[in-house]
Amino acid sequence: MTFFNELYYNQAFWTAILSWFVAQFIKVITVLVSEKRFDFSRFVGSGGMPSSHSSFVTSLAVMIGLKNGFDSEGFAICFVLALVVMYDASGVRRAAGKQASILNQIIEHWDEGPKIQGERLKELIGHTPFEVVAGAALGIFIAIIMYMFVY
């Protein structure tokens, strides 16, 4: 079997991709409903509700657990990876987003001295703990549905 053929039939891979896609789609819909505008950048951007990173890695871990057993080495690897990704999303990346917000405010209100050149820093790169939990719950739900009804 070729690489692409094997990838095509990889259930865990496609479950994770679907979970990421659904999370990103929910972000677009959320902006459409709350702000009455279509913002396609939310489909490819990071941050926001729910965490697509959390959904992605959690669905992968759960699918591996369902297929290979929750006592398998594959599940353990995916579970640890999921914990690192979710911790990073709500910790390090969230802090970086807050710092970017403060730096953008400082640059905007800089009255004295030479003008600071450069583009605005991206502020929406991390997640609140609730967004991470919501993404994880979405990933678990999608993995279970895919396991029960598709595979």
Compute the half-sphere exposure of residue 19: CA atoms within 13 Å on the CB side of its CA.
33
Structure tokens at 33: 């409903």
Calpha distance 28→26 (Å, rounded): 5
Structure tokens at 19: 């979970």
What are 51-73's pLDDT values in tens digits? 989 999 999 999 999 999 999 99
pLDDT at 124 over 60: no
User: Which pLDDT band, with edges at 50, 70 and 90, does 109 fall under?
Assistant: low
Q: Residue 54's pLDDT is what?
A: 94
User: Which pLDDT band, with edges at 50, 70 and 90, does 79 fall under?
Assistant: very high
- Chain-centroid distance of CA 7 in Å reads 22
Instruction: Provide the residue type at 3 as one letter.
Output: F
